[in-house]
Amino acid sequence: MNEKIIDIIIPCFNEETNIKPVYEETRLVETGIGNCRFNYIFVNDGSSDNTLEIIKELAQGNEQVKYISFSRNFGKEAAMYAGICNSRGDYAVIMDADLQHPPALIKDMLETIERTGCDCCAARRVNRKGEDKIRSLCAGLFYKLMNRFSDINIADGVLDFRLMNRNMVRAIRQLPENRRFSKGIFAWVGFDTRWVEFENVRRMKGESKWSVWSLIKYAMDGFIDFAVSPLKFAGWFGGVVAVGSAVYLIVEIIKTLVLGRDTPGYASTICLILFFGGMTIAILGLIGEYIGRMYMETKGRPVYIEKESNIHED
């Protein structure tokens, strides 16, 4: 049988302490599998520490280590996309640099794909041990809403950490949108996906780069990019309110004609005006959010800008 090539895509943002450990651990997995060769694609996402130097050190005289370095921090989504765009192997793996994604799982994933003939095998956390309670509660709520209101299905606990065959990689490459939400994209492109489960592990060194605010923004991105139902809801809501107020108006006219004019009712009127005024502005804001995204997407800017790389040298 031919030797299989597996591209290991590792997005790195200020991971100087983790690069070598993750590389060494993954090497061990590689030797344990046999009949396949790993290519490492480190994507340096505008780190301000020594991440790039350490990657270059690894790449020196080692054909298997490739890197792409961005001109600034473009975010993990862009880094994953850069890896996908440069993957030429039979399979591609996306893996975090902080060893929160145990490289040993790659072996299980490969076995699953070879045994079942599926296209993709992704890791799924069975728990969120060691994670903030509120954070995991919010995440759970997000996935519930997402699955309810969009036309894709994402299981809670599914990670970006996965092994995909070349077909799926090619499909993802065809989605060059700027605001990326990979979990949605993986689900959207389809393909037969299986899961391997594992227990949550703490990040090896350094800190998570996600603040509460950036997580909220990320959830918003995911929601707006994959669900148009908020807009549908706004439309329905507007319709119901319009019909309701028309009925109310008719009732009021009849009441005035029959009972004569009465002055009370000022407070309720103001309340209604404020309520619907507020709702209108909120819904306009929602629509504005979609239009803003359309504007950004129509610019057709690249997802990332490469500053240097050892991939195109040869």
Binding residues (CB under 5 A) for Mg ion: these are 98, 100, 203
**Total residues contacting ligand UDP (rule CB under 6 A)?**
17
CB closer to ligand UDP, 79 vs 92: 79
The option from Mg ion, ligand UDP, none interacting with 209 (CB < 5 to 8 A, set by class) reads ligand UDP
3-state secondary structure of 129: coil
Minimum distance between the CB of residue 279 and Mg ion, rounded to whole angstroms? 39
Minimum distance between the CB of residue 10 and ligand UDP, rounded to whole angstroms? 7
Neighbours of 156 (CB within 10 A): 16
**Binding residue (CB under 6 A) for ligand UDP from 7, 11, 87, 182:** 11
CB closer to ligand UDP, 50 vs 229: 50
Minimum distance between the CB of residue 14 and ligand UDP, rounded to whole angstroms? 7
Burial string for 45-75 (b: 16+ CB within 10 Å, else e) reads bbbeeebbebbbebbeeeebbbbbbbeebbb
Scanning 110-118, 206-214, 254-262, 272-280 for contacts with ligand UDP by CB under 6 A, the matching segment is 206-214
In 3D space, the residue among 201, 130, 226, 120 whose CA is nearest the CA of residue 167 turns out to be: 120
The option from ligand UDP, Mg ion, none interacting with 225 (CB < 5 to 8 A, set by class) reads none
CB closer to Mg ion, 14 vs 100: 100
15 in contact with ligand UDP (CB under 6 A): yes
Site string for ligand UDP, 53-92 (x = CB under 6 A): --------------------x-xx--x-------------
The angle formed by the CA atoms of residues 286, 291 and 297, to the nearest 5 degrees, is 130
In 3D space, the residue among 41, 46, 38 whose CA is nearest the CA of residue 19 turns out to be: 41
Give the tokens for residue 262.
């009465």
Minimum distance between the CB of residue 22 and ligand UDP, rounded to whole angstroms? 8
3-state secondary structure of 41: strand
**Binding residue (CB under 6 A) for ligand UDP from 6, 7, 13, 226:** 13
Q: Tell me if 289 sits within 8 A of 221, measured CB to CB.
A: no
- How many Cα atoms within 13 Å fall on the side-chain side of residue 23? 24
The option from Mg ion, ligand UDP, none interacting with 162 (CB < 5 to 8 A, set by class) reads none
CB closer to ligand UDP, 83 vs 230: 83
202 in contact with ligand UDP (CB under 6 A): no
The option from Mg ion, ligand UDP, none interacting with 15 (CB < 5 to 8 A, set by class) reads ligand UDP
DSSP class of residue 151? Answer: S
CB closer to Mg ion, 4 vs 203: 203
SS3 string of 196-264?
A: EEECCCCCCCCCCCCCHHHHHHHHHHHHHHHCCHHHHHHHHHHHHHHHHHHHHHHHHHHHHHHHCCCCC
Scanning 96-104, 106-114, 259-267, 293-301 for contacts with ligand UDP by CB under 6 A, the matching segment is 96-104
CB closer to Mg ion, 98 vs 160: 98
CB closer to Mg ion, 64 vs 200: 200
Q: For residues 66 and 308, what is the distance between their CA atoms, to the nearest angstrom? A: 11
Burial string for 107-142 (b: 16+ CB within 10 Å, else e) reads bbbbebbeeeebbbbbbbbeebeeeeeeebeebeeb
Question: Given the rule CB under 6 A, which residues bind ligand UDP?
Answer: 11-13, 15, 45, 73, 75-76, 79, 96-98, 100, 203, 208-210
